Structures are given as C-alpha cells and as structure tokens.
C-alpha cells in the first residue's frame, strides 16, 4: 500500500531541472511536457521570496503536449517547438527538458536534439523524467547532462586556468539563500586571488558551463554536486574536493582555502591577510552577543528541518556559538537509499543531533516537533503553524520561505554567520516581548475587576503569584 505525503516541500526531477536551467544566464529551457508541468512549478514557487527568473511560469517555452501526442508520439511537436523557440527567444544555449509523458511514450528526444544541432543551433537535452526523483536529483542530473553534451555544441579547446574553481552543490531555489551564498563564496575566493566558476546568479552563465573543463579543481558543497564533478574528473581530469557543508566560521574558510591550495598556488601573504581580516570581523560581532547568550538563555533545545547540508551547517553553528542541544534533525532532501553518491555524512550528523529523521511529509515533521520538546525550530514556513500552536520559536532558514524577500542575503562565511545570529536573537527577543505583553494585559484585566482588591491581602498576594505562575506556565508549554 502506497503512503500519502502531506504537503511535500520538493517537486519532481523535472521541476528541479527547470529551476536550475532558469537560473543560468543565457540558457533557455524548453519543456517537453503538458502545459501543467511548468505552470505547477511556477505556482508552487511564486510565493517564495526569491523572485522569479526570466523564463518562468507562463513565459517558459514548452510543447504543451496533448492527448494525441501521448497516443501517437510528440516528436514532431518537439521539433516544431525547438525551431520556434530559437526564432523568437535569444539564447546562448537551449536545454530540452524531458517529462513523464514523453518518457513513457518513448519520444526520441536525443534524435530531435541531434537534428537541430546539425543545423547549427546550440541545443542540449536531459532525459530525466519527473518520476526519476526529486528537485535535488533534477538539479544534479541536468548539470551533468549539460556538461556531458556542451562540448559538441560550444566548441572550446581545453586550456586550464590555474585560478579558476568550479562550484557545485548549491541548489538554486532549494536553498533560499542560494544567490547570496554563491556571492559570498565568490568573495572568499577572490580574497585570496582565485576565481569562482559559479554557473548561476548574477556572476554566472552559460560561459561558466563551457569553461568548467578549464578549471583547476571543483569544490562540491553537498552530495548534490557530486555527479557533475565526477564527470569533469573522468573526462577532463579536473579534480574535485567534497565538503559536508558550506563554511560558517573563519576556521571553515581556512580549511576550504587550504584544501584548494593543494591544486593551485595561493600567495601565502594574501591568504593570511585575508583570513586575519575575516577573523577580526568574526570576533568583533560574535563577542558582542556574549551577554545576550546568557541573558536570553540562547543555548536552547533545538530541532532543525532542512536539507542535509543546512542541517550540518546550522547544527554545528548552534552548538559552537550558543551551546545549544540539538534534539533532532529532519533531512528533507536525503534519500533513504542513495546508490549514486559516495558521500556519507551519517557520522557527522550523529555527532551533531541526538536523533536523525528522513522525511519531507508535513504530518511526520509536525509529530517530530511535538515529541522533541524543542524550544527552537530552524525550518521553513511550513513549520509556522505547528510551532505557533506549541509556543516554539521558529527561525525560517530552509525552503520554502513565504513571508520574506530573500535576494542576496547570505548564511555562509563570517558575514552569513553574523546575519544568522542577528535573526536568531531578534526572534528570541520578539518572543520575550510578546510574552511580556500578554502577561501585562492579563494583569490589567485583573486590575479592572473587583477581585483585584483581594490581592492586596496576604492571601490575595498568594493567589496573584499562583495566577501569574500559571499564566507563565501556559505560555511556556
């Protein structure tokens, strides 16, 4: 018997591939699917605070296949759509995205792609259908498929750039802070004289995909960047370095730079000068919150809901900075059976959290939060209702986030750490203020009643203390 998943937060592989291609400057997605596939992806994400890309929603080129195409095949419709898209939409690269319908019918998407390429158009395809996996799977495989084919449509001799580093594993849209995080990684590399090949965002684009084989190394920040990094290693001998999470502290930045320096030369003076500035920045701001940590008891029982990379990064941060007890971690992206990746972070996760759960089912997550006894949840907007009803503070840092605009803010590096701390302390202080206001209002109501006079006696004072204690207890449940 199949299980029903309540309000899952991640779409299918097609949605992940579409979200990925949409965020590559110069790339044009062509969706070979029914009209609903692209629109559903748009509707699911339009309320998330990252804004929308150029080719999204109703502006996404697509075949809009219908019943007759499912019955008789949609190859001719795909041929027509590719040609029309190239005529009316300027792009450096056109990426055909497969779907469940075309995969089940057996449309020869590869043949259509080869036909258009022979006519001189820069077209690649990915054969991932929606049922192959989730959004993270779609991200990884579409990048893999593009890198596998791009040499055939964008001729470029391999010429290694000793300062160029590929960046993989930051999934567009699935990490709400993906744009700012990419920019922060770029800033860290530039600080020591390196260049980050980002692919996405304001500093990325199709040219980065073409030049990926010219990088001196690739850095993978989560399991979801492993496949494209392996491809570049196998085909072009570009080595790769894997990290369990993005950096948060100066010590993390140092580890990143030193591992990269094994493959390229970094000026030692420039490195130490940069890291010294980063350390001064970190010490200045984190030392300023020492009184708040004690006064507001910030080392609270914490539960984290999000992607594996986020769980590791936020968990380590909360333990080291606030001395928090991580009572549980809910991985919403990890696969229960993962045969594609060598990455195994189970030991790291077990060292951070007392209990590890793998689910994206909202009902499961609600039950976990109730049982955990957590005082703080680091999660998404989907946890807002359950945390409010249980009087638990919520930090919205994982996907999806509905009620905040997130453009270039970051949670990575020392600057991201400061922003993360600021949001957490603000959330705690607001919760304390609201609790105080409720208590104040309650006492005002008592004062306006005749029974208030009775509280001036010794017996009344005892009753008052009991009432206030009871109220505080109710507020803290």
Considering only 13-22, 149-158, 331-340, which range has the smallest mean pLDDT?
A: 331-340
Would you call 33 helix, strand, or coil by DSSP? Answer: coil
Q: What is the pLDDT of residue 449?
A: 63
* 441: CB partners within 8 A, 6+ apart: none
Q: What is the DSSP string of 154-206?
A: S------EEEEEEEE---BTTBTTHHHHHHHHHHHHHHTT-EEE--SSTT--H
**Whether the predicted pLDDT of 50 surpasses 70:** no
Q: What is the pLDDT of residue 212?
A: 97
The predicted model gives 375-380 an average pLDDT of 96
Q: Cα separation of 314 and 304, whole Å?
A: 8
- Summarize pLDDT for 184-238 with one digit per residue, the tens: 999 999 999 999 999 999 999 999 999 999 999 999 999 999 999 999 999 999 9
Residue whose C-alpha is closest to residue 149's, from 118, 122, 171, 111 = 122
Q: Which stretch of DSSP H or E encloses residue 321?
A: none
Residue whose C-alpha is closest to residue 66's, from 32, 110, 16 = 32
Going by pLDDT thresholds of 50, 70 and 90, the confidence category of residue 2 is low
- Summarize pLDDT for 154-176 with one digit per residue, the tens: 888 889 999 999 999 999 989 99
3-state helix, strand, coil in the chain (%, to 5): 55, 15, 30
Q: Cα separation of 137 and 224, whole Å?
A: 7
Model confidence, pTM: 0.89
The predicted model gives 42-58 an average pLDDT of 69
Burial class (CB in 10 A: 0-12, 13-18, 19+), 466: exposed
State how beta strands 393-396 and 195-197 pair. unpaired
Would you call 86 helix, strand, or coil by DSSP? Answer: helix
């Amino acid at each position: 018997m199949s299980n029903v998943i309540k309000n899952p937060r991640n779409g299918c592989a097609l949605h992940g591939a579409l979200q990925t291609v949409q965020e590559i400057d110069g790339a044009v997605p062509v969706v070979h699917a029914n009209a609903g596939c692209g629109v559903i992806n748009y509707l699911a994400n339009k309320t998330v605070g990252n804004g929308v890309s150029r080719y999204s929603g109703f502006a996404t080129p697509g075949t809009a296949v219908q019943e007759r195409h499912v019955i008789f095949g949609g190859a001719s419709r795909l041929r027509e759509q590719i040609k029309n898209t190239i005529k009316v939409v300027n792009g450096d690269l056109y990426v055909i995205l497969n779907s469940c319908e075309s995969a089940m019918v057996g449309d020869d998407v590869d043949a259509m792609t080869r036909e258009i390429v022979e006519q001189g158009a820069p077209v690649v395809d990915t054969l991932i259908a929606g049922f192959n996996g989730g959004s993270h799977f779609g991200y990884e495989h579409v990048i893999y498929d593009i890198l596998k084919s791009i040499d055939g449509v964008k001729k470029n001799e391999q010429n290694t750039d000793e300062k160029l580093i590929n960046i993989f594993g930051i999934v567009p849209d699935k990490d709400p802070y993906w744009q700012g995080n990419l920019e922060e990684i770029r800033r860290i590399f530039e600080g020591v004289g390196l260049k980050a090949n980002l692919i996405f965002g304001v500093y990325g684009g199709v040219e980065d995909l073409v030049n990926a084989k010219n990088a001196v190394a690739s850095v993978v920040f989560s399991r979801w960047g492993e496949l494209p990094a392996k491809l570049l290693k196998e085909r072009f001998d570009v080595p790769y370095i894997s990290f369990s999470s993005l950096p948060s502290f100066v010590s993390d930045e140092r580890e990143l730079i030193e591992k990269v320096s094994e493959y390229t030369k970094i000026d030692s003076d420039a490195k130490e000068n940069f890291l010294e500035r980063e350390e001064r920045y970190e010490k200045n701001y984190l030392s300023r919150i020492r009184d708040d940590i004690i006064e507001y008891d910030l080392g609270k029982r914490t539960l984290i809901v999000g992607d594996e990379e986020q769980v590791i990064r936020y968990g380590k941060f909360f333990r080291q900075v606030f001395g928090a007890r991580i009572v549980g971690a809910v991985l919403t992206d990890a696969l229960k059976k993962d045969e594609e990746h060598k990455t195994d972070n189970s030991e790291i996760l077990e060292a951070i959290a007392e209990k590890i759960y793998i689910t994206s089912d909202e009902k499961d997550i609600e039950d976990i939060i109730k049982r955990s006894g957590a005082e703080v949840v680091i999660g998404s907007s989907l946890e807002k209702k359950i945390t409010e009803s249980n009087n638990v503070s919520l930090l919205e840092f994982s996907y999806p986030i509905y009620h905040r605009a997130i453009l270039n803010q970051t949670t990575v590096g020392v600057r991201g750490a400061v922003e993360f701390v600021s949001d957490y302390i603000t959330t705690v202080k607001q919760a304390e203020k609201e609790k105080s206001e409720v208590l104040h209002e309650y006492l005002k109501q008592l004062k306006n009643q005749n029974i208030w006079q009775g509280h001036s006696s010794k017996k009344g004072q005892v009753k008052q203390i009991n009432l206030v204690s009871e109220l505080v207890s109710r507020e803290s449940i």
